[in-house]
Structure 1
Amino acid sequence: MKHLITPLAAAMLAAFAAGAAPSAQAQGKDLKIALIAGKTGPLEAYAKETETGFMMGLEYLTGGTMQINGRRIKVIVKDDQSNPSLGRTLLAEAYGDDKVDLAVGTTSSGSAIAMLPVAKEYKKVLIVEPAVADAITQEKWNKYVFRTARSSMQDALAAASTFKSGSVGFLAQDYAFGRDAIAAAKEALKTTGSKGVVVHEEYAPATATDFTAPAQRLFDKLKDKPQPRVLQIVWAGPNPLNKLADMKPERYGIALAPGGNILPVMKTWKSFAGTEGTIYYYYGFPKNKMNDWLVAEHTKRYKMPPDMFTAGGMAAAGAVHAALSKAPNAKNGDELVAAMEGMAFDTPKGRMSFRKEDHQALQPMYHFRIKKDQKSEWDLLELVREIPVSELPLPVRNKR
């Protein structure tokens, strides 16, 4: 398989060779990290953001040296094309042939789930980012698996915290991500004590472009139910919000709730000013030094602010940096696992920590409202409130 060294890493290594960072500082062998992402296929936009955020995170946390404890960091990027079989093969290659110290990935939940047994087989750490399926830290989990990404249940608990009563219907993609999300949403309503009732759920193909039939079925089920009536959209990739809005759900007193998405999608929602939802990250919400740097540097380099998967990539870099700094002499995956359980680390959202029981990163979420007065191309959301970890009672469901 082809190995790719990212442009930023290559530039750093070139700088070292030219004397920008004294090579005498580098002691011991390189730290090798595999970053597996769906760089081609339906989730390539997410994968690109993850890679950018991961490399910027390492740059920030190492002060630009790309070293930890005097050892140079080598990032090997692999494209699994969001294919579970390929993801499994690439992770085995990374652990076996490339001899990486740990791995990060991947974009698709299906591919991530396929990779989990490989981490167990090789007894090496896998940090899951950005896949969200609950199974990753529940029934499919093993002790070598850590997740910086939020889970479907964390998404669901955040959304449920804003929905106190009324009727809700769901439109989701018909694969692991969508079905996991809706199962979590129904449970989250009960967990948070909401009096909201789930009236109906519809699943459409991930590549669907015509939503007329499922939307009408949802309208028919919701239209006579108690207010507020909400149609919640759970969708990865181009969001069907605009197409559903064209069908005028307000005729039935139904409000659309899109949930968070990447910036290029959310910028098409300007006509939905006042609509509320919940999101994992929006560049203007967290107030901390790391996020300030990410927003400033990303805007300078890419002419736009960082997106939610960029922040996720940087969070994964925070976990990698903290783990390898805490256990610089770890001889195997078991020693690294011991160092990472309960470990706190810096991210653009603030400090996160890996829960010891299932290695899920505990983190806040955000309740947003689409702005009426958008002063610039990317001035899209206003913060209603940050939802703290204490209000997101994530269940522990793995088997140790």
Structure 2
Amino acid sequence: MRVTKKLLLGSMAASAALVLAACAPTAGAGGDPAASGDAGPSEVTVGIVTSETGPLAGYGKQYLDAFKAGLDYATDGSNEVDGTTITVEYRDDAGDADKAVTAVKELIGSGVSIIAGTASSGVALAVAEQAEQNKVLYISGPAAADAITGINDYTFRSGRQSAQDVATAGTFLDELEGRTVTVFAQNNAFGTGNEAAVKAILGAQGATVNSVLVPEDATEFTPFAQQVLAGNPDLVFVAWAGATSGAMWQAMSQQGVLDAIPVVTGLGDSATFSAYGEASEKISFLNHYFPGGPDNAVNDAMIEAIEAQGGTPDLFSPDGFNAAIMIVQAVAEGKGDVDAMIAALEGFEFDGPKGTMTVRASDHALVQEMYQVKLVADGGGFTPELVDTVAADDVAPAEAQ
């Protein structure tokens, strides 16, 4: 197995507390690990629940392609660790929490004690609840909601969370103390959620945060772009989704916002690279992952394996690859026992496609580097180019309480 383990101090206390928990399913179809002694069970079954259809199917495919590549990588092609075979059952949640919960209950009912996946934050939160109720290990990804971190002892994550995105946005300013940040967003749950996150994270670092919230049904964005410009902030953080994105960016460009003020937004998967039109080369992008971002052997191996399967590495590929490494670690050290698998992951440090990844013992956040990126013209489209790598500790989320 090509990973290393470093237990943090907090994991010892957590392990002691977990011993008091009620007994959980011990393994997949392999039966009782105690019967096999230190060797562990002969087989452990993992349930992968994510979007194979529905609005998030593209994200699901990225995750699944990389998970398969990661399992092959972490087991040297054997799908086996220390004599235990890892088998996988896949379920499509279609982005629907009810379907996911039904699938998870069926998997747990058949003896599965490790669940991973889910692209939707709403689905992940529902699955996390099932993990706690049934005392099984759950590794979420790529769902980004901050509420997943620290939700319970049984839930981990294999990708980044929204707080890391927002913290990365703040790194586009040399100093936040005394600076003004304007959140430009739609006046809906997504937009106000980002507004709250920017206030909590960048505001805590000394920035004054204000907002221009646009009605969700707006189709004319010139007045709102002018409002942003009139406020003369030091940085604009844009949180936008949906069919009006192109018109919004056009208005921001035409009104001169992008020439006068640094504007930062998140760079999505490759399907979005041409969505910004004439604004593309004037926007600064925070980014979780693109294939050209990291420079390490694990990333090279992941890209090669995904492409060999006929897939394309993309935004959420590391989440699937990391999940496989974490599962192999849990099985190797925990030998099918849920409490032991949790202890094995708390404080676990490993080399993933994005470099060194650390599972924070206190709340199971995944501490990792992030990227500053720009889009550059490339033929008839645009391609991302790395501007800077942001150190993992500089954008680590606050510890969940």
RMSD across aligned C-alpha pairs, in angstroms? 2.6
Q: CA deviation at 1:314?
A: 0.8
Read off the aligned partner of 1:279 and give its amino acid letter. Answer: N
Read off the aligned partner of 2:399 and give its amino acid letter. Answer: V
The separation in 2 between residues aligned to 1:27 and 1:338, in whole angstroms, is 16
User: Is residue 333–residue 340 contact of structure 2 (8 Å, CA) maintained in 1?
Assistant: no
User: Is residue 345–residue 353 contact of structure 1 (8 Å, CA) maintained in 2?
Assistant: yes
The separation in 2 between residues aligned to 1:200 and 1:36, in whole angstroms, is 37
Partner of 1:168: 182
For residues 195-240 of structure 1, give each alpha carbon's deviation from its aligned partner in whole angstroms, at most 9, with x where no partner exists: 3532323473xxxxx7525x356325313112446351343xx675
Read off the aligned partner of 2:290 and give its amino acid letter. Answer: Y
Partner of 2:387: 384
1:325 and 2:332 aligned: yes
Partner of 1:13: none
User: Is residue 199–residue 221 contact of structure 1 (8 Å, CA) maintained in 2?
Assistant: no
The separation in 1 between residues aligned to 2:354 and 2:238, in whole angstroms, is 25
- Aligned 1:225-304 pairs, distance under 5 A: 225-228=231-234, 230=236, 232-235=238-241, 240-254=244-258, 256-269=263-276, 271=278, 272-302=280-310, 304=312
User: Is residue 367–residue 387 contact of structure 1 (8 Å, CA) maintained in 2?
Assistant: yes
1:312 and 2:319 aligned: yes
The separation in 2 between residues aligned to 1:370 and 1:28, in whole angstroms, is 49
User: Is residue 153–residue 181 contact of structure 1 (8 Å, CA) maintained in 2?
Assistant: no
User: Is residue 318–residue 346 contact of structure 1 (8 Å, CA) maintained in 2?
Assistant: no
For residues 42-86 of structure 1, give each alpha carbon's deviation from its aligned partner in whole angstroms, at most 9, with x where no partner exists: 111111111111111101111211212222221111111211222
Partner of 1:87: 100
The separation in 1 between residues aligned to 2:321 and 2:186, in whole angstroms, is 28
For residues 123-170 of structure 1, give each alpha carbon's deviation from its aligned partner in whole angstroms, at most 9, with x where no partner exists: 1110011111111114xx110011122111111111122144344232
The separation in 2 between residues aligned to 1:110 and 1:348, in whole angstroms, is 26
For residues 4-43 of structure 1, give each alpha carbon's deviation from its aligned partner in whole angstroms, at most 9, with x where no partner exists: xxxxxxxxxxxxxxxxxxxxxx995322111111222211
Q: CA deviation at 1:187?
A: 1.4
Q: CA deviation at 1:173?
A: 8.1
Partner of 1:15: none
User: Is residue 167–residue 225 contact of structure 1 (8 Å, CA) maintained in 2?
Assistant: no
Q: CA deviation at 1:267?
A: 4.0
Runs of 4+ aligned structure 1 residues displaced above 6 Å come to none
Q: Which has the higher contact order (CA 8 A, sep 6+)?
A: 2
Partner of 2:341: 336
Q: CA deviation at 1:375?
A: 6.8
Partner of 1:6: none
The separation in 1 between residues aligned to 2:235 and 2:361, in whole angstroms, is 39
Q: 5+ residue gaps in structure 1?
A: 1-25, 205-209
Q: CA deviation at 1:252?
A: 4.8
Read off the aligned partner of 2:351 and give its amino acid letter. Answer: D
- Aligned 1:22-37 pairs, distance under 5 A: 28-37=41-50
Partner of 1:212: 219
TM-score normalised per structure 2: 0.80
- Aligned 1:113-124 pairs, distance under 5 A: 113-124=125-136
**SS across alignment from 1:258:** strand
Deviates most, 344-353 or 120-129: 344-353
1:75 and 2:79 aligned: no
Read off the aligned partner of 1:102 and give its amino acid letter. Answer: I
The separation in 2 between residues aligned to 1:320 and 1:307, in whole angstroms, is 21
**SS across alignment from 1:359:** coil
The separation in 2 between residues aligned to 1:201 and 1:337, in whole angstroms, is 41
Change (3 A) 1:231 1:136: closer
Deviates most, 348-357 or 66-75: 66-75
Aligned length: 355
For residues 344-388 of structure 1, give each alpha carbon's deviation from its aligned partner in whole angstroms, at most 9, with x where no partner exists: 13311112111111011111110111124x3797x7122121111
TM-score normalised per structure 1: 0.81
**SS across alignment from 1:247:** helix
User: Is residue 59–residue 119 contact of structure 2 (8 Å, CA) maintained in 1?
Assistant: yes
**SS across alignment from 1:321:** helix
Read off the aligned partner of 1:286 and give its amino acid letter. Answer: P
Partner of 1:362: 367
Read off the aligned partner of 1:224 and give its amino acid letter. Answer: A
Change (3 A) 1:269 1:135: same
User: Is residue 41–residue 336 contact of structure 2 (8 Å, CA) maintained in 1?
Assistant: no
The separation in 2 between residues aligned to 1:47 and 1:312, in whole angstroms, is 10
Change (3 A) 1:344 1:172: farther
The separation in 2 between residues aligned to 1:344 and 1:239, in whole angstroms, is 40
Partner of 2:124: 112
